[in-house]
Structure 1
Amino acid sequence: EGKIYLNAQTWSVISGSGTVEQQKKAMAAVKRHLLKDFGPLLLSPAYSEPDPLIGYLSRYAAGTRENGGVYTHAATWAIWAFVLQGQPELAYKVYQGISPIHNGMNPGRYLGEPYVTPGNIDGPDSAYYGRGGWTWYTGSAAWLDKMISERILGIRPTRAGLVIDPAIPPEWKHYSMTRKFRGTVYTINVSNPRNRSSGIHELQVDGSIIQGNVIPPQPSKTCLVQVTM
Structure 2
Amino acid sequence: LAHATARYLTVTGDATILKEQLPFLDGQALGEGEHDAFFTPEISKKTVSLYDHCARALDLAIKRSSPAGLPLILGGDWNDGMNRVGEHGKGESVWLGWFLLKTLGDFAAVAKTEGDTKRAQAWAKHAEALKRALESTAWDGEWYRRGSFDDGTPLGSRTSQECKIDSIAQSWSVLSGEGDPARSTTAMQQATKLLVDDHLKIVKLFTPPFSKTDKDPGYIKSYPPGVRENGGQYTHAATWFVIALAEMGQTDEAYRCFSMLNPVNHAFDEASTEHYRVEPYVVAADIYAGDDKGGRGGWTWYT
- The TM-score bracket by the shorter chain reads 0.5 to 0.7
Question: Structure 1, residues 4-48: CA drift from partner, whole Å, max 9, x if none?
Answer: 111000000000122110110110111111111222110111111
Following superposition, the deviation at residue 84 of structure 1 comes to 0.9
Match of 1:117 in 2: 283
Match of 1:132 in 2: 297
CA–CA distance in 2 between the matches of 1:4 and 1:95? Answer: 20
CA–CA distance in 1 between the matches of 2:280 and 2:197? Answer: 20
CA–CA distance in 1 between the matches of 2:212 and 2:239? Answer: 27
Q: 1:89 aligns with which of 242, 252, 257?
A: 252
CA–CA distance in 2 between the matches of 1:114 and 1:18? Answer: 36
CA–CA distance in 2 between the matches of 1:11 and 1:111? Answer: 31
State the SS of the aligned residue for 2:236.
Answer: helix
Matches within 5 A, 1:20-99: 20-37=181-198, 38-49=201-212, 53-99=216-262
Following superposition, the deviation at residue 52 of structure 1 comes to 5.9
Match of 2:170 in 1: 9
Taking structure 2 as the reference length, the TM-score comes to 0.43
Unmatched tracts of structure 1, length 5 or more: 140-229
Matches within 5 A, 1:73-222: 73-105=236-268, 106-123=272-289, 125-136=290-301, 138-139=302-303
Question: Structure 1, residues 156-201: CA drift from partner, whole Å, max 9, x if none?
Answer: xxxxxxxxxxxxxxxxxxxxxxxxxxxxxxxxxxxxxxxxxxxxxx
State the SS of the aligned residue for 1:82.
Answer: helix
Larger Rg: 2
Match of 2:85 in 1: none
Asked whether the equivalents of residues 205 and 237 of structure 2 are also in contact (C-alpha less than 8 Å), the reply is yes
Question: Structure 1, residues 106-156: CA drift from partner, whole Å, max 9, x if none?
Answer: 202211101111011111x241111011011x22xxxxxxxxxxxxxxxxx
Task: Letter of the 1:104 partner, please give it.
Answer: A
Following superposition, the deviation at residue 49 of structure 1 comes to 4.0
Unmatched tracts of structure 2, length 5 or more: 1-161
Taking structure 1 as the reference length, the TM-score comes to 0.57
Task: Letter of the 1:70 partner, please give it.
Answer: Q
Asked whether the equivalents of residues 49 and 58 of structure 1 are also in contact (C-alpha less than 8 Å), the reply is no
The 1:71–1:51 alpha-carbon spacing in structure 2 relative to 1, beyond 3 Å, is farther
State the SS of the aligned residue for 2:189.
Answer: helix
CA–CA distance in 1 between the matches of 2:255 and 2:282? Answer: 19
CA–CA distance in 1 between the matches of 2:232 and 2:193? Answer: 16
Following superposition, the deviation at residue 97 of structure 1 comes to 1.2
Asked whether the equivalents of residues 202 and 295 of structure 2 are also in contact (C-alpha less than 8 Å), the reply is no
Asked whether the equivalents of residues 266 and 273 of structure 2 are also in contact (C-alpha less than 8 Å), the reply is yes
Number of equivalent positions: 137
CA–CA distance in 1 between the matches of 2:262 and 2:219? Answer: 27
Residue identity (%): 39
Match of 1:164 in 2: none
User: What is the root-mean-square deviation in Å for CA atoms of aligned residues?
Assistant: 1.5
Task: Letter of the 2:171 partner, please give it.
Answer: T
Which one has a larger percent helix, Structure 1 or Structure 2?
A: 2
CA–CA distance in 1 between the matches of 2:214 and 2:232? Answer: 17
CA–CA distance in 1 between the matches of 2:295 and 2:210? Answer: 19
